[in-house]
Amino acid sequence: MRLWSYNESKCIFAHSTSPARCLRYTHPSPLHLLSQCRRIGISSTPKSPPREFPISGFDTLNSSQIIEEETLPSYSKEHYYPARLGEVLNSQYQIITKLGFGSSSTICNNNRYLTLKIHIPTNHPPPEIQLSQYLSTLPSSPTGQKYIRLALDSFEIPGPYGLHPCILYEPAGIDIRDYIHCLEGDALPENLLRVTLRFMLIALDYLHEAKVIHTDIQPRNILLGINDTSILAEMEEDEISNPAPRKQLADRTIFVTRAMPLTSGEPVLADLGEARLAKGKQTGLIMPSVYRAPEVMLGMYWDSKVDIWGLGQTAWTLFEQGHLFTTHDLETDDHQARRFAEMISLLGPPPVEFLRRSEESLKFWDEDGKWKGCVEIPEQSLESRESRLQPDDQMLFLRFLRKTLFWLPEERPTAKELLMDEWLRGADY
């Protein structure tokens, strides 16, 4: 049985300068700058010698043009390592092409190709280094670990404004948000949604058994795997023969992103940068606001069930061409009231038992759990919002979704229990 298929894709690989490409990198990840690099022979273990990269034959952009990482609201050149194509890092890794950018780190791939994330300067090592080391020592399920993108190694490199932590990973393809833009309707078909969620639940079961909470389950952290690494060598050769445009400044060069080709591997869960090693209930603000669980919004204790809530919302985003809750900003009490009103309309009112766990709930409900009416509850239901499925299939899908979105965290199933869900199992079982 083939669990992961891309036969419905409309994309073909094209060079980043081609106007015909359909991979969308106009909205890059807020956490990563991507580039590709290769292992070379300067270290004690002989590999291949460094390549010579073109010093001409590329388009030079006007220095006043704002591009790439400069477009981010929080951009500061002091945060970025001024990486250069052809540069050798840690006497072992040669950067060969740029795949993306973001606000706190950089990524590269190497021959054996790997991925290198270069963080902004910090006095503390990124937590995913310690978490990956911890997970790699556990006698846990190798199947579950297969679908988690763990750090393989780490080192530091000096930049103009401090030391940049670097983390090495196995390479992976585009995130699933970019993949669905290549499909009819900009959404996953039901069969691919099922198998994607199965892989993510296997990954979450592995993490939760190891007492690790991911806290950042969302589409951009689901990456396509790479079965055929020859595409990475092709990207390297393409950078030599068709060098990326760039903007050359006095103290750095900003290269234009090269699109990652579409790949056909099984998806993996990425980015343990916000993960927590937790053997009990936790406190503190976590999760992207659009996916934030109610117990987190109300300042309650939380546990691994926040990942189940995030998975449910991710399922909706991938399938329904939009977010389940339309209030994205949770910065004010009014914004939170709007989100809670949406939750009530779609999930029903919260149990009084849940509300009594936090005094914050008294801003929105009275002591008996009655909504104070600070924001009108929308006239809608999950059934009215779901538009792609026939009644029987819709019933099963929404039953699965409701399991992930119980107000009471303890009523949400574990990842292992969700794997047995009737809709998720589908006709394949």
Q: Is 428 left (phi over 0), alpha (psi -120 to 50) or beta?
A: alpha
Neighbours of 52 (CB within 10 A): 8
Apex 81 CA angle, 79 and 84, nearest 5: 150
Among this protein's residues, is 216 annotated catalytic?
A: yes
Would the CA dihedral through 43, 86, 125, 308 be positive or negative? negative
Return the CA Rg of the chain: 23
Alpha carbon distance 272, 133 (integer Å): 12
Q: Locate 170 and state its tokens.
A: 């196995």
Q: Are 173 and 235 in contact (CB under 8 A)?
A: no
Q: How far is the C-alpha of 124 from the C-alpha of 31, rounded, in Å?
A: 17
Contact between residue 192 and residue 424 where contact means Cβ atoms under 8 Å apart: no
Residue type present at position 358: S
Query: Which residues on neighbouring strands pair with residue 248, listed in sequence order?
Result: 253
**CA dist., res. 306 & res. 287, Å (int):** 8
Asked if residues 175 and 317 have their Cβ atoms less than 8 Å apart, the reply is no
Q: How far apart are CA 152 and CA 173, in angstroms?
A: 17
Alpha helices (H) in 181-332, listed in sequence order: 190-209, 230-241, 294-297, 305-320
Q: CB count, 10 Å around CB of 283? A: 10
Q: Which residues contact 190 (CB under 8 A, 6 or more apart)?
A: 319, 388, 389, 393, 397
CA distance 344 to 138: 41
The helix-helix angle for 305-320 and 391-404 (nearest 10°) equals: 150
Q: Tokens at residue 369, please?
A: 């759990």
Q: Rounded to an integer, what distance in angstroms lies between the CA atom of residue 251 and that of residue 82?
A: 8
Residue in 175, 178, 216, 421 annotated catalytic: 216
Q: List residues with catalytic annotation.
A: 216
